[in-house]
Amino acid sequence: MTDTGTPRTQAIAEIQEAASAAATPEVIVLPTLGDAARRACQDTVRILAAAVTERGAAHLALTGGSGGMALSEALAPLIAAQPEAVRHAIHLWFGDERFVPAGDPERNDLLATPLIAAGIRESQTHRLAAPNEVSGLDEATARMAHELKSAGVTPGGFDVVHVGLGPDAHVCSLFPGHPAALAVGAPAVAVRNSPKPPPERYSLTFEALQHAGRVMVVAGGEGKAEAVRLGLGTPDVLKAPASCCRGEQTTWYLDEQANALMAD
């Protein structure tokens, strides 16, 4: 017997239908991951500067992993070259974070360091509370959800979300088959028993990702080729969460190796 009509089935349908209704992702292929990251960052700065001109603020969510490192390195000098009025109007967020002590090498928010040095304000860098600052992961996640709402990011949306791609086609900390990937009705979710250590994490939900003005997926290396194929296929949140990571506009920035299975 199927579980048609259960909350789980409804969540799967909601996430996949929203992804299917979104614009088809654009794919940009460049020789190396560094090249792909630089192109993504050029587009990022253009979008953020336009948002500041239009609304007086811009919201960017960063990612971790190899893609996040390449993006942070490429983005810092581009941010530094912007007028102070733009630099000081950018808010930094994180697509996911590990619930470990502040300063721990596992923290994704360490990637904000060169961006803060480039002129983004620490006061506008929205870090997940560390374990010693809250009663537990639930409180840290609730605080972040409240912060997102207070900053006007929900129900509006991020201007840009940077997304790394796992070899299993996970994005943020939304893993294939994990119940946290099916969270609906909130912009953020507490992730427990993550298949990748550390086990406790915070993640944006698909609800937040799918409301973003621009989602940028950045990936490189032959180990990501199958994940790219799945992620650019029919939305399937259980098998390939990346396939449901689609905002109002979505662009995949890939190196040639990651795009190998998509080449004609």
Structure tokens at 41: 């960052």
Average pLDDT per block of 10 residues along the chain, 264 residues long: 75 98 98 98 98 97 95 97 98 98 97 98 98 98 96 89 98 98 97 97 97 97 97 98 98 98 78
Structure tokens at 135: 């009663």
Say whether 156 sits in a helix, a strand or coil: coil
Name residue, tokens 């199958």.
226
Supply the pLDDT for residue 264.
57
In contact, 92 and 126? CB cutoff 8 Å: yes
Q: Rounded distance, CA 139 to CA 1, Å?
A: 37
Say whether 204 sits in a helix, a strand or coil: strand
Supply the pLDDT for residue 81.
98
Supply the pLDDT for residue 2.
46
Pairing of strands 90-94, 201-204: unpaired
For 42-86, give the DSSP string: HHHHHHHHHHHHHHS-EEEEE--HHHHHHHHHHHHHHHHTS-HHH
pTM of the full structure:
0.96
In contact, 119 and 82? CB cutoff 8 Å: yes
Name residue, tokens 């996911």.
96
Supply the pLDDT for residue 154.
81
The burial class, CB within 10 Å (0-12 / 13-18 / 19+), for 209 is: buried
In contact, 109 and 125? CB cutoff 8 Å: yes
Say whether 159 sits in a helix, a strand or coil: coil
Q: Rounded distance, CA 187 to CA 196, Å?
A: 22
